[in-house]
């Protein structure tokens, strides 16, 4: 096994965090800013690339450059236990949802996920980019032409909004998904974007012009509340977007708006 063998425990329901238990000299890698707390025996370092293998300076720069294409930071952070016994480090989800643990060895050593879903992984897991085969995916796929690719034989942890539903597709079986709801797919699943049928569906169906079509065989993970959908709904009710406080269940009701100056 090339990846470090880490233990974990997930806490919470809708605002989850994952506690990673490390033996001496074991390491977990994560995106910058995801750490919630760590023991005093944990050493934190910022690195280029993912630390999955020995790299020269040019390889590290190339690896970091690929991460920039996915919209992520140039750097990653490692957490290593530098004492006897065990040490713990905890990572928190950035918004309401679920943390999804995946053992890559159970998925032929490869998972493709949306770029913002990766939370942390055992050292040895390679974090790269996956170019989709069809340009339509790039222009209209919601998550863009480039997605993240996790490779190796260790544990990786993804985060998704709302609840996570896993579907296993048989050979040739298809599933149509909203572009923002796709979290991850196993390597055997074909990913394409299809134009909505019918002008009325496209303009008034509320799902946009395009949907993702997934074709098996393989596993698919779907999230019920994409961050983009949540952000759009919050923005629509914000003062900058002309949102009004409705006052449901409030004693003040319209008086609250009056006091805020919204009625003038």
At 225, the pLDDT band (50, 70, 90 cuts) reads confident
Per the structure block, which two tokens stand in for 182?
Answer: 């796709």
| pTM for the whole structure | 0.80
Beta bridge partners of 10: 18
State which residues form the domain around 40.
7-241
Q: By the 8 A CB rule, do 237 and 262 touch?
A: no
In a domain, 259, yes or no: no
3-state secondary structure of 119: strand
Q: By the 8 A CB rule, do 77 and 31 touch?
A: yes
Q: Region 76-103: what's the mean pLDDT? A: 94
In a domain, 73, yes or no: yes
Q: How many distinct structural domains can be found in the chain?
A: 1
CA-CA distance, 11 to 216, in Å (whole number)? Answer: 32
For position 94, which CATH number holds? 3.60.160.10
CA-CA distance, 201 to 179, in Å (whole number)? Answer: 15
CA-CA distance, 157 to 91, in Å (whole number)? Answer: 10
176 or 254: which carries more pLDDT confidence? 176
Q: Region 103-121: what's the mean pLDDT? A: 92
pLDDT tens digits, residue range 169-223?
999 999 999 888 999 999 899 988 776 665 544 444 445 567 888 999 999 999 9
In a domain, 79, yes or no: yes
């Amino acid at each position: 096994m090339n990846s470090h063998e880490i233990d974990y425990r997930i806490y919470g329901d809708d605002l989850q965090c994952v506690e990673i238990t490390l033996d001496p000299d074991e390491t977990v890698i994560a995106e910058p800013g995801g750490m919630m707390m760590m023991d005093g025996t944990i050493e934190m370092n910022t690195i280029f690339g993912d630390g999955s293998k020995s790299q020269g300076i040019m390889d590290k720069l190339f690896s970091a450059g690929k991460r920039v294409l996915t919209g992520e930071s140039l750097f990653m952070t490692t957490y290593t236990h530098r004492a006897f016994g065990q040490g713990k480090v905890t990572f928190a989800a950035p918004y309401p949802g679920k943390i999804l643990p995946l053992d890559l060895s159970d998925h032929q050593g490869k998972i493709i996920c949306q770029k913002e879903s990766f939370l942390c992984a055992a050292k040895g897991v390679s974090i790269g980019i996956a170019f989709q085969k069809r340009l339509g995916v790039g222009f209209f796929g919601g998550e863009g032409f480039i997605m993240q690719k996790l490779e190796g034989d260790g544990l990786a942890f993804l985060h998704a909004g709302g609840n996570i539903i896993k579907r296993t597709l048989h050979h040739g079986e298809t599933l149509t998904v909203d572009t923002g709801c796709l979290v991850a797919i196993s390597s055997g699943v074909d990913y394409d974007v299809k134009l909505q049928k019918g002008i009325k569906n496209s303009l008034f169906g509320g799902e946009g012009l395009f949907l993702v079509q997934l074709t098996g065989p393989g596993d698919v993970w779907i999230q019920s509340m994409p961050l983009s959908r949540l952000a759009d709904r919050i923005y629509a009710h914000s003062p900058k977007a002309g949102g009004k406080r409705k006052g449901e269940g409030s004693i003040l009701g319209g008086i609250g708006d009056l006091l805020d100056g919204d009625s003038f």
